[in-house]
Amino acid sequence: MSRLKDKVAIVTGAGGGQGKEEAILFAKEGAKVVVTDIQEDKVKEVVSEIKENGGFAIGFYHDVSSEEQWEQVVKDSIAEFGKVDVLVNNAGISDAGEAFHEISLEKWQRTQNINLTGTFLGMKHVIPNMLEHGGGSIVNISSIAGLTGGSGASSYTASKGGVRMLTKAVAIDYAKQNIRVNSVHPGYIETPMTTELFQNDEYRGWFESQTPLPRLGKPGDIANAVLYFASDESSFVTGVELPVDGGYYAQ
């Protein structure tokens, strides 16, 4: 269990769901993990779980839409662990269920600020340190909504499509400096954010019908894909988009 031995990783939105699974898996694989989220109690729980299992972790309250907070998180991470090798831009929100013409500007901007601008800020503030020590890996969590259109979630879809293309642009910009940037595109995943939705048998049946494999996804499915990109196993892979969706995008 040493695929990330001696690496330092920041994982945002790691208080629960996919981010928590990523942080715990990274620690098991030898990384020193920086756990961030706006849910301070959840951050403490994840950090404690990692430490109780022999891993190394610190945690911070972190609003990813705040440049000031990004600056502080990166500064404190370097002060504690000496560098940043891996960044996982996992934090995000969903806005499904509202007609496009009824979305307020405030709601539109909040979705973009967290999902897209948060990803921009994370990369902006870790890349200088990665340049200093010879490279790194950035994994941006997009969505199948960043690959295909869908009704009822236009601002979310726009933000995740932006993450997809921003990933490709930055991957090209820094490839010569050995900084790899890739995106993961989850399909329908059972997380705390989707629990209430999937408890409705009708809705659950519809989402299952859209997924060719015979089940919905689990947070661990995403964590394993992110681990691959974070590790040196993907050292010749940059600028790619990986759907982890049970076959949805293949249809």
* Annotation says 249 is catalytic: no
C-alpha distance across the termini of the chain, in Å: 35
Distances in Å between the Cα of 17 and the Cα atoms of 13, 21, 181, 190 are 8, 7, 22, 8
Q: Choose the catalytic residue: 61, 156, 174, 203.
A: 156
DSSP letters, the chain, are: --TTTT-EEEETTTTSHHHHHHHHHHHHTT-EEEEEES-HHHHHHHHHHHHHTT-EEEEEE--TT-HHHHHHHHHHHHHHHS---EEEE-------SS-GGG--HHHHHHHHIIIIIHHHHHHHHHHHHHHHTT-EEEEEE--GGGTS--TT-HHHHHHHHHHHHHHHHHHHHHGGGTEEEEEEEE-SB--TTTHHHHTSHHHHHHHHHT-SSSS-B-HHHHHHHHHHHHSGGGTT--S-EEEESTTGGG-
Residue with tokens 């490279």: 135
Residues identified as active-site: 156
